[in-house]
Structure 1
Amino acid sequence: MTQHAAPAPVPAWVRQFMREIDTLDFGEGAARATDDTEMFFGTAHVVGADAIKAFFVKIDEPLHIEHTVLECWDAPEGVLFLRGEATMAKKTEPDTTVQAPF
Structure 2
Amino acid sequence: MAQLTHSTDGSTLADILERVLDKGVVIAGDIKIQIADIDLLTIKIRLIIASVDKAKEIGIRWWEQDPNLSLSKKVKELEQANNKMSAELRELKARS
TM-score scaled by structure 1?
A: 0.20
TM-score scaled by structure 2?
A: 0.21
* Larger RCO (CA within 8 A; separation ≥ 6): 1
Larger radius of gyration: 2
